[in-house]
Structure 1
Amino acid sequence: MKHRKQYPGASPYTDRHGRRRWRFRKGGFAAELGTDYGSDDFQRRYEAALEGHRTRGLVGVERTRPGSVSALVASYYRSPDFLGLSDSTKRTYRGVIERFRQEHGDKPVTLMQRRHVQKILAEKAETPAAANNLRKRLITLLDHAVSLDWRPDNPARSTKPYRLDGGGHHTWDEGEIARFFEVHQPGTLAHRAVTLMLYTGVARIDAVALGWQNVKGERLEYRRSKTGSAVSMPIHPDLAEVLADCARDALTFLQTNRGASRSPNGLGNMMREWCDEAGLPLCSAHGLRKACARRLAEAGATAHEIGAVTGHKTLAEVQRYTAEAQRGGMADSAFGKLIARPNGEKKLGEPAEEVRQRCA
């Protein structure tokens, strides 16, 4: 299956100074996106380019048709619900919403029915996670339409999410972790990045921002970009050993060769390359966050304790991350209780006396 481009319409070119740049082109419209592919500035320019392409040439007419999907999206972007989100969440939501608006922007919101939503979601059936993300955003948008009295109900709420195979991003196991470190030795950026994420459970967007300014004594402290949750944890000895090689005047632990802060997408792309080099196609940066939670669960940490490290706001999110580890641990614990009962009671698997006599 052909891989879908992360930024449709964006393509690279080399300027007269030999620098690699990116440009957005579609339908005769062009806009410059800069040189740092996937950076925050790149994404802002890309979103503006999408907007410019949608409205270009509409001289003397309204930018959006009243009551249309585009008008609803524009209203939602100005709402307290959207403005109150973190910058990273806004970018994620926009990425899903803008693709939907490109395809259905001119359609009237009042005429959208449950069957229409189901058809739109069915077009993404081959990628159920993407379909479910779109469903969530449609629920949000149509809830906003209800709040504006544009329609009396939300047809997206009566649809069902697609069943996902597995538990989302693959959780690294110990063999995969060992294989990565076998290929990427200490002293490399790859080794430092994975060690940082593995021993903190930090997400990409926060990993690229961490530096010595976040080290307070023997603790690492930061505030999650996605939720705003404050996180404070002791620095694991293995992580402390790796960070000791970082220059004290470095902007961040994972800065670029030029001393600039690395972008989350840039780190994600490099992680993909590093994992491929190690022969780990299922592994990703987010899987390290889950691996950290798994290790904590296997060590006997409670959901509250794990949440204090990962910065999750609800225990349900923590339990989703650690379900596999907890099931295995509880099974071992259950069998341990049955096999070694107190007061000399019969152990699990010990044959009854009559069975022993028949077998004698």
Structure 2
Amino acid sequence: MGRRMKPLRKKFPGATPYFDRHGKRRWRYRKGGRSVELGTEYGSDDFVERYEAAVKSIRRPVGIDRTIPGSVNDLVVSFYKSPVWKALSDSTKRTYRGHIEPFRMKHGDKPVNQLERRHVMKILAEKADTPAAANNLRKRLMQLLDHAIALDWISTNPARLVKPYKLDGSGFHTWDEGEIARFFQVYEPGTMAHTAVTLMLYTGAARVDAVKLGPWNLKQSADGPRFEYRRQKTLKSNGVLISIPLHPDLAEVLSASADDRPFLATAYRKARSAEGLGNKMRQWCDKAGLDACSAHGLRKACARRLAEAGASAHEIMSVTGHKTLAEVQRYTDAAMREGLADSAFEKLISRPNREQTVVNLQSRFAKNNSKVLK
């Protein structure tokens, strides 16, 4: 009886092919009830990487065993591992995920390299009734597709070829002085509502920062007490330290907070969430009849007051912590425009020969119109 030949050893034991619903052959690793997708290119670098991870029982990123290579899902998983994503603050990540994940759920299996400008226009058109949301999604798509270019999946970014929707107004409503006075009529000193609005109005802090502020942010200096903190939005990038004088009105309100807890702590003495503060602010404003007002509008009101007091854009940035002049410039421009208009009319009214100028202007037109047409 002849010697029995041993079967040839497979290069990738446990890797087996199958055909998906489109008739395309794919590979997967199966062992111990576990199945991991290996892609379509047998022996490729990506195939080997996935295979080795499966064999060593190394847990792959969320969704990798359900991800089609080159798909939107695959791109999002890769983007979530990128340095750009890791540099974002936790609050910014939550906001971005709110835009990315609904798009991913609807288009996750589609190939990125087939995405064209017309597709992006159609996707954004579904949000035409909420243009701000459409523009936010467009920004996230630009980021995702820039990442796809870095991966050499595509050569151009179709999202950048689509114009943003025009928005009515200038975003969140900026509280005016009448609305601020109305709020303080309804909510007296000592109430959480009064404390919250005063704190945000005299620091320019965003919700995510306001809820974390406490006695530990008050510092003594040669010029008196100051408020010092770093914005959560730029914390990972070592944002510039915000250090502002403590306004007397705010100092009076905070004098009642003697214990070691956040100024806007809950009734259980716990730190309040940014979302929780936003919800409470909505309730407080509605009760005061200020439907257009919001927490973010207080940040803009702080910048408005500084601009009206003659502060430059750079001076306002040192208070609000903005990283670019674009946003702050709108406050200074609006405040300066009114002053320039007043100055212009003062010059016109005080001009000694204004009546003569008007008479001469009429005479000139009369002379020009007296010519007979030939």
Tell me if TM exceeds 0.5.
Answer: yes
Task: State the secondary structure of the residue aligned to 1:226.
Answer: helix
The residue number in structure 2 matching 1:318 is: 328
Does structure 2 retain, via aligned residues, the 8 Å contact 1:208–1:261?
A: yes
- Aligned: 1:204 with 2:215: no
Aligned partners of 2:170 and 2:69: how far apart in 1?
A: 41
How do 1:324-339 and structure 2 match up within 5 A?
A: 324-339=334-349
The residue number in structure 2 matching 1:129 is: 132
How do 1:160-199 and structure 2 match up within 5 A?
A: 160-199=163-202
TM-superposed deviation, 1:317: 2.0
The residue number in structure 2 matching 1:229 is: 240
- Aligned: 1:150 with 2:156: no
- Aligned: 1:260 with 2:270: yes
Instruction: Give deviations 1:136-175, integer Å, cap 9, x for gaps.
Output: 0000000000110111111000000000000000000111
Deviates more, 1:325-334 or 1:191-200: 325-334
The residue number in structure 2 matching 1:70 is: 73
The residue number in structure 2 matching 1:43 is: none
TM-superposed deviation, 1:332: 2.4
Aligned partners of 2:242 and 2:356: how far apart in 1?
A: 54
User: Of residues 331, 352, 356 in structure 2, which corresponds to 1:352?
Assistant: 356
Aligned partners of 1:138 and 1:354: how far apart in 2?
A: 57
TM-superposed deviation, 1:321: 4.0
Counterpart code for 2:231: R
Does structure 2 retain, via aligned residues, the 8 Å contact 1:290–1:322?
A: no
Does structure 1 retain, via aligned residues, the 8 Å contact 2:226–2:243?
A: yes
Which consecutive unaligned segments of at least 5 residues does structure 1 have?
1-53, 56-60, 356-360
User: Of residues 231, 251, 269 in structure 1, which corresponds to 2:261?
Assistant: 251
Aligned partners of 2:148 and 2:226: how far apart in 1?
A: 46
Distance 1:126 1:352, change over 3 A: same
Count of aligned residue pairs for this structure pair: 291
The residue number in structure 2 matching 1:269 is: 279
Does structure 1 retain, via aligned residues, the 8 Å contact 2:96–2:140?
A: yes
User: Of residues 69, 75, 83 in structure 2, which corresponds to 1:80?
Assistant: 83
TM-superposed deviation, 1:320: 2.9
How do 1:269-288 and structure 2 match up within 5 A?
A: 269-288=279-298
Distance 1:232 1:354, change over 3 A: closer
TM-superposed deviation, 1:132: 0.3
Instruction: Give deviations 1:1-48, integer Å, cap 9, x for gaps.
Output: xxxxxxxxxxxxxxxxxxxxxxxxxxxxxxxxxxxxxxxxxxxxxxxx
Counterpart code for 1:289: R
**RMSD between aligned residues:** 1.9
Task: State the secondary structure of the residue aligned to 2:203.
Answer: coil
Counterpart code for 1:351: E
Structure 1 runs, 4 residues or longer, greater than 6 Å off = none
Aligned partners of 1:238 and 1:204: how far apart in 2?
A: 20
Counterpart code for 1:214: N
TM-superposed deviation, 1:290: 0.4
Counterpart code for 1:221: E
The residue number in structure 2 matching 1:91 is: 94
Aligned partners of 1:260 and 1:99: how far apart in 2?
A: 32
Deviates more, 1:90-99 or 1:316-325: 316-325
Distance 1:101 1:354, change over 3 A: closer
Counterpart code for 2:65: E
Deviates more, 1:128-137 or 1:63-72: 63-72
Counterpart code for 1:170: H
Does structure 2 retain, via aligned residues, the 8 Å contact 1:196–1:239?
A: yes
- Aligned: 1:109 with 2:112: yes
Task: State the secondary structure of the residue aligned to 1:157.
Answer: helix
- Aligned: 1:219 with 2:226: yes
Identity %: 68
Distance 1:354 1:317, change over 3 A: closer
TM-superposed deviation, 1:351: 2.2
Aligned partners of 2:343 and 2:314: how far apart in 1?
A: 20
- Aligned: 1:289 with 2:293: no
Counterpart code for 1:235: L
